[in-house]
């Protein structure tokens, strides 16, 4: 069971994990051992709340297909167990990032004191610059 938050959990049956051979250099062992993990998660057919499903569909990410299937390939580590944990961690991070709602910004106005301090600073700076002119004898 993958715990996304205290109210959202994904059962293991909804996450499809398969072992594949890793790409790239690695010597003789990389050609024999299936240590990379390919994760597929169909968000629309899952038990996720509808808000999470909608946000995942709207989220623009190359790992999410137009049907809402999340595809993650983990091949960073040497062992299959570490790659499996990494893929699940990345799935959780993707779901959390897609469902994060920004706090609404409330525009504020400067206070009267800050306005006065700004204007005093401007006039003081102006008087300093005015004193730099030529001196008349």
> What single-letter DSSP state applies at residue 39?
E
Q: What is the pLDDT of residues 97-111, one digit of tens each?
A: 888 888 999 999 999
**Does residue 33 sit within a domain?**
yes
- Which residues constitute the domain of residue 61? 2-98
Q: Domain for residue 64, yes or no?
A: yes
Residue 106 lies in a domain: no
pLDDT at residue 111, as a whole number: 96
Q: What is the CATH number of the domain that holds 88?
A: 3.30.160.20
Q: What's the token pair of residue 67?
A: 């049907």
Number of domains in the chain: 1
Q: Would 49 be classed as within a structural domain?
A: yes
Q: Is residue 111 part of a domain?
A: no
- Tens digit of pLDDT for each residue in 77-94? 888 899 999 999 999 999
Asked, for residue 10, whether it belongs to a domain, the answer is yes
- Does residue 118 belong to any structural domain of this protein? no
Residue 132 belongs to a domain: no
Contacts 24+ apart (CB under 8 A), 62-69: 63/94, 64/94, 67/42, 68/42, 68/43, 68/44, 69/40, 69/41, 69/42, 69/43
- Does residue 117 register a pLDDT over 90? yes
pLDDT in tens, 23-80: 877 666 666 778 889 999 888 888 888 888 888 888 888 888 888 888 999 988 888 8
């Amino acid at each position: 069971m993958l715990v996304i938050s205290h109210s959202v959990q994904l059962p293991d049956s909804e996450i499809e994990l398969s072992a594949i051979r890793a790409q790239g250099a690695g010597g003789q062992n990389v050609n024999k051992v299936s240590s990379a993990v390919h994760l597929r998660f169909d968000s629309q057919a899952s038990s996720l709340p509808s808000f999470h499903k909608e946000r995942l569909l709207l989220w623009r990410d190359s790992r999410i297909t137009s049907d809402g299937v999340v595809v993650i390939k983990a091949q960073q580590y040497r062992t299959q167990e570490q790659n499996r944990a990494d893929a699940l961690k990345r799935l959780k991070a993707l779901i959390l990032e897609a469902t994060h709602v920004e706090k609404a910004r409330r525009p504020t106005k400067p206070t009267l004191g800050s306005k006065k301090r700004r204007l005093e600073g401007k006039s003081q700076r102006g008087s300093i610059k005015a004193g730099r002119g030529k001196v008349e004898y």
